[in-house]
Structure 1
Amino acid sequence: MKSQIKKIENYIPEEPIESVKERLGLKKLVRLSANENPFGTSPKVKEAILKWNFGEENRYPDGYASDLRNKIADFIGVIPEKLVFGVGLDEIITMISRIFLETGDEVILSKPTFSEYALHAQIEGAKVIEVPCLSENGHYDFEGFLKQITNKTKVIWVCNPNNPTGTYEEVSTLKAFFDQVPDNVLILLDEAYIHYVTKNNSTSFLPELDNYKNVMLLRTFSKAYGLANYRVGYAVMNENLANYMQAVRLPYNLNSLAQVAAIAALADQDFINNSVEKTRIERDNWEHFFKESKIKYYSSQANFVFFNFPAANKLADELLRNGYQIRRGLLKDWLRVTIGSEEDGVKLRSIISKNK
């Protein structure tokens, strides 16, 4: 066994909803801890799944995901060869770490950010360098990143909007930072929550990607598209990097139903726009509440809000007793709440007010 594996703590996934309800004697539990889309999935997905040829269960799926590949490539305006698919972004992150990291390499990331970046770096024996976010607003400290770059730096992770802070970095800000990163350092730009950015019309770094051969952009169908259970993620990159990724990608990694679901979801942009608008309205309600209540929070452009609360675990327990599960343990005295329905938001904010 690799010595570094012995030092890694097991990832503890969300406890199943029915299990939590039974354990706590709850009639209802609203999970607002996993950044899932509370507005569900496009009805076109169910229609497409039911039309699938269920006589093909004994056949392997299209290992190249040809139809899905071509439709996404056409939708985002790239050639199909630039795309690599994974079973959620989890598999993409695993592939990246396996290919590009060796023992002794250094990986730079923000603190806090998505935990799997560090996890897979540690599995490969790389050293993780954490740069705390700017305490006043939760944004990336890119100057701090630049100071940490050495000849051992192999990978830099940027999650935009960042999970769990929800903060969004402008394309111009990213370009200014990327221009100062050496070409031999791979920059991973995770845009899992990019669909929720509403502050301007040009939100994604995708149009700039061809200008940076060392930048890889990641997307998922698990959030705005509401396909978390189907596990579909993909990365966009130059063809040279894509060839390396394809070399280690497991064959037939994306099953046929997942491909069918993603194609149907992609076609229903009205569902995406509706989900994003409802999220924006309720996100504004949350931020107004935090501002009026003088509760510190980071302004979010994602489908969640990160806020500071003394005795955070006590509040999380109280919310759970009332049937609401939110995310704890990401940073001391901080909690992350996924944006839900307006009705649930009203109830949650009432409970928080009573526990101030």
Structure 2
Amino acid sequence: MTINYLSLAVREVSLLSPYVPGKSIDELERETGMASHRIIKLASNETPMRPNPHVIQAIQDELRNITRYPDASGFRLKAKLSEKFGLKSEAITLGNGSNDLLFMIAQAFLGAGRNAVFSQHSFSVYEAAAKATGASTQEVLALNWGSDLDQILTAINRETRVIFLANPNNPTGTWFDRRAFEAFIDRVPRETIVVLDEAYIEYADDPSLPNGLDYLHSYPNLIVSRSMCKAYGLAGLRIGFAASSPEVAGILNRVRQPFNVNSLALAGACAALDDDTYLQRGRQVNRQGQQQLQEGLSRLGISWIPSRTNFLAVNFERPARSVYDALLMEGIIVRRLDGYGMPNHLRISVGLKTENIRLLDALGSIMRKGSW
């Protein structure tokens, strides 16, 4: 007898699509036979820098303990986060990347009969996390590829329990300033949780953007999520944290999985927080790479959405699938945005100088051949 197991799944889960990450170097190597050293990945917004040697040393030191479970409370990491960002330890929730935190928030505050609000062209996990709980969702039309805060306010109703808001936004790179955020959050009902996703805030390099952590004492309904996978260079370890009121953190810890952050990630994150030089160097590499890409794209007559992140959403003004495929054949992995309602765009992470040159040369060759 054949059983349709999808029909046995919870209805809300059966309607979801699996998350599709950027193609990996190993995957392209398997598909094409191309040697891995010839492939560059500019798809997933990782740092292009080599791993922090202090992080590597901390991981090596921790390896002797891998027969034991990690510290479930993350005491040392919370202490370092408290010191660096001026937070109370009891206001911090640790996650296996910020994705883990987004699902925790949805599980804690959403469910059937409740809804979540987020912007068009925002991170797909917002919708997935909400719908997996049985909640409904409201996607608000974007304004100039970014969040229309006034329209998000209009979308709030009595059933709205969570607003997901990214600053800067992924995958568009857009942002809103401090004044706009303050005007927005002042008007959000206190029974509605505002999740300010700051996964890319370290790259913003713009004092006009709000630092969400500065608003926690005034808005107990605010949760700020941060990732250490991007600027801190810990993508392979998967580590992030949320800051909130202690009361909200206590609720999140009720649904947080036991030992959700492994011991190597805890050790690596502690070492990363101790090394501000690596973080500052990464920001400098990103600034220079952004300028290099923008100047090169301008010479090619290709436009992009202004960004305060470590990537550009590049507009080819026609379906970009052919450009994506042509770049793969050159050993360059970027990210398609069809699933975000942006089929004419590709998201391109900022790479090292040599990687950026190779990308721009490949785009120039593709355009000259008319293979797009």
1:142-221 matches, within 5 Å, as 142-200=149-207, 203-221=210-228
Aligned to 2:255: 248
Percent identity between matched residues is 31
Q: In structure 2, do the counterparts of structure 1 residues 291 and 209 end up closer, same or farther at CA, with 3 Å as the change threshold?
A: farther
Question: Deviation of residue 180 (structure 1)?
Answer: 1.2
Between the aligned partners of 1:167 and 1:182, the Cα distance in structure 2 is 25
> Is 1:3 paired with 2:14?
no
- 8 Å contact from structure 1 (residues 89, 233) kept in 2: yes
Q: In structure 2, do the counterparts of structure 1 residues 53 and 282 end up closer, same or farther at CA, with 3 Å as the change threshold?
A: closer
Aligned to 1:351: 362
Question: Deviation of residue 230 (structure 1)?
Answer: 0.8
> Is 1:262 paired with 2:273?
no
Question: Deviation of residue 353 (structure 1)?
Answer: 2.9
Aligned to 2:45: 35
TM-score (norm 1): 0.95
> Is 1:326 paired with 2:334?
yes
Paired residue secondary structure (1:73) = helix
Please, which of 279, 290, 303 is the counterpart of residue 283 of structure 1? 290
Aligned to 1:306: 313
Code of the aligned partner of 1:91: D
Between the aligned partners of 1:21 and 1:178, the Cα distance in structure 2 is 47
- 8 Å contact from structure 2 (residues 178, 208) kept in 1: no
> Is 1:45 paired with 2:52?
no
Aligned to 2:29: 21
Unmatched 5+ stretches in structure 2: 1-8, 368-372
Code of the aligned partner of 1:113: S
Q: 1:129-180: CA deviations, max 9, x gaps?
A: 1122223xx2311121122111111111111110011112212221111111
- 8 Å contact from structure 1 (residues 194, 203) kept in 2: no
- 8 Å contact from structure 2 (residues 296, 360) kept in 1: yes
* Aligned Cα root-mean-square deviation (Å): 1.6
Aligned to 1:335: 346
Paired residue secondary structure (2:206) = coil
- 8 Å contact from structure 2 (residues 314, 347) kept in 1: yes
Q: 1:49-98: CA deviations, max 9, x gaps?
A: 222361x3332211101011101111000111100001111211111111
Between the aligned partners of 1:125 and 1:202, the Cα distance in structure 2 is 33
Single out whichever of 230-239 and 290-299 deviates more from structure 2: 290-299
- 8 Å contact from structure 1 (residues 156, 187) kept in 2: yes
Please, which of 117, 120, 133 is the counterpart of residue 124 of structure 1? 133
Code of the aligned partner of 2:176: E
Single out whichever of 338-347 and 14-23 deviates more from structure 2: 14-23
Code of the aligned partner of 2:108: I
Question: Deviation of residue 202 (structure 1)?
Answer: 6.5
Please, which of 68, 79, 84 is the counterpart of residue 77 of structure 2? 68
Between the aligned partners of 2:358 and 2:18, the Cα distance in structure 1 is 33
- 8 Å contact from structure 1 (residues 287, 299) kept in 2: no
TM-score (norm 2): 0.91
- 8 Å contact from structure 2 (residues 229, 238) kept in 1: yes
Code of the aligned partner of 1:262: A
Unmatched 5+ stretches in structure 1: none
Q: Aligned residues, how many? A: 353
Paired residue secondary structure (1:64) = coil
